[in-house]
């Protein structure tokens, strides 16, 4: 059983470090290392991130302890009902409302915070009319405001994102850094040129680590192949239409592998999509290949088309 990510090591490193330079490096870039580590795992990405930034963004307070003491964890998600004892005291937390501030007070937090500004994502963040009251609450709680942040949606154009960020730049004071997401290098340069009095810091995850997928291959091995003539198979006794081969591959729901948009199978062999007999189950998936169609054999590898931001691989092969 293997879900394997194969990486052209030098090409990937060149891409990461080129992107870091384009986005600003050092004091103008915060690499994002959260969740599954974009398919690589967080430790591998942290090792790279420490080379070109003093701050590293993580998803939650439960991930912040991964960051070396020499660097500052920037937490992207507001704190809920628990503040872990493992949380480094130099972490910077995020607030987007007076309620968020009150939650941190109830946990006894006394460190730094970034105020999240509401974007068209409408997920969390303070509205323009409420900025002054949230700033007052932060000051009243004795927190140090470390900066502002705005997170445009994935959808939309670079111009849309720039306009949304520029609108906030015209509202909030310019004495603190503005952390921005989902902005490419050209847009960043334009924003920085138009707002030279501002320290605009890019937060980058997907484009930094996965911006060029040509050097990345995700695949799984074939564990078993059996010929069938109709009947049923699988955990759900799924009916089989016609004659063909049942192919069992070594990845499943425990790896985060599921159907793609449109309920399409993510598995491919010989440039053809392979039909899933039933949804992936834990550590394996059953496929059905009709007679006459190119079929993998034992110990072959099958391509897996999944967003690397949601899968947990068993092994990474560096070329």
Looking at the fold, whether 85 and 43 belong to one and the same domain comes out as yes
Looking at the fold, whether 131 and 230 belong to one and the same domain comes out as no
For the segment 91-110, what is each residue's pLDDT rounded down to a tens digit?
999 999 999 999 999 999 99
For the segment 248-306, what is each residue's pLDDT rounded down to a tens digit?
999 999 999 999 999 999 999 999 999 999 999 999 999 999 999 999 999 899 999 99
> Under DSSP, is residue 228 helix (H, G, I), strand (E, B) or coil?
strand
For the segment 171-189, what is each residue's pLDDT rounded down to a tens digit?
999 999 999 999 999 999 9
Asked which of 210, 244, 266 is the last residue of a domain, the reply is 210
Asked which of 210, 230, 265 is the last residue of a domain, the reply is 210
- The answer to whether residue 1 sits within a structural domain is no
Looking at the fold, whether 264 and 306 belong to one and the same domain comes out as yes
The overall pTM is greater than 0.75: yes
Q: pLDDT over 70 for what percent of the chain?
A: 100
Looking at the fold, whether 235 and 263 belong to one and the same domain comes out as yes
Distance between start and end Cα atoms, the chain: 21
Strands 243-249 and 285-290: antiparallel
Asked which of 210, 239, 263 is the last residue of a domain, the reply is 210
Looking at the fold, whether 133 and 265 belong to one and the same domain comes out as no
For the segment 105-132, what is each residue's pLDDT rounded down to a tens digit?
999 999 999 999 999 898 899 999 999 9
Supply the CATH number for residue 238's domain.
Answer: 2.40.37.10
| Domain containing residue 135 | 32-210
- On the question of pLDDT at 26 being above 90, the answer is no
For the segment 207-224, what is each residue's pLDDT rounded down to a tens digit?
999 999 999 999 999 999
Burial class (CB in 10 A: 0-12, 13-18, 19+), 101: buried
pLDDT interval class at 27 (50, 70, 90): confident
- The answer to whether residue 16 sits within a structural domain is no
Looking at the fold, whether 205 and 236 belong to one and the same domain comes out as no
pLDDT at 1: 75
Domain count, the chain: 2
- The answer to whether residue 131 sits within a structural domain is yes
For the segment 33-77, what is each residue's pLDDT rounded down to a tens digit?
999 999 999 999 999 999 999 999 999 999 999 999 999 999 999
């Amino acid at each position: 059983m293997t879900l394997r990510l194969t990486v052209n090591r030098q090409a990937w490193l060149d891409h990461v470090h080129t992107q870091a330079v384009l986005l600003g490096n050092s004091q103008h870039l915060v690499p994002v290392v959260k969740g599954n580590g974009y398919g690589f795992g967080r430790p591998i990405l942290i090792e790279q991130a420490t080379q070109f930034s003093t701050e590293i963004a993580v998803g939650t307070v439960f991930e912040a302890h991964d960051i070396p003491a020499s660097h500052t964890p920037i937490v992207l998600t507001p704190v809920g009902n628990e503040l872990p004892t493992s949380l480094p005291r130099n972490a910077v937390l995020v607030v987007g409302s007076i309620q968020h501030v009150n939650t941190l007070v109830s946990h006894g937090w006394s460190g730094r915070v970034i105020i999240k500004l509401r974007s068209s994502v409408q997920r969390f963040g303070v509205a323009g009319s409420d900025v002054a009251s949230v700033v007052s609450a932060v000051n009243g709680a004795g927190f140090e405001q470390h900066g502002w942040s705005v997170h445009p949606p994935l959808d939309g154009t670079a111009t849309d994102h720039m306009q949304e960020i520029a609108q906030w730049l015209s509202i909030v004071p310019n004495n603190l850094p503005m952390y921005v997401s989902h902005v490419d290098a050209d847009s960043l340069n334009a924003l920085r040129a138009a707002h030279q009095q501002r320290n605009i810091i890019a937060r980058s995850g997907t484009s930094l680590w996965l911006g060029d997928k040509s050097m990345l291959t995700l695949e799984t091995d074939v564990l078993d192949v059996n010929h069938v003539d109709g009947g049923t198979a699988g955990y759900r006794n799924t009916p089989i239409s016609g004659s063909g081969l049942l192919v069992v591959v070594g990845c499943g729901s425990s790896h985060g592998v599921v159907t793609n948009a449109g309920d399409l199978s993510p598995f491919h062999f010989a440039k053809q999509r392979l039909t899933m007999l039933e949804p992936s189950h834990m550590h394996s998936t059953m496929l059905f290949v009709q007679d006459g169609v190119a079929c993998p054999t034992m110990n072959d590898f099958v391509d897996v088309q999944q967003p690397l931001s949601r899968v947990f691989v068993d092994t990474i092969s560096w070329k």
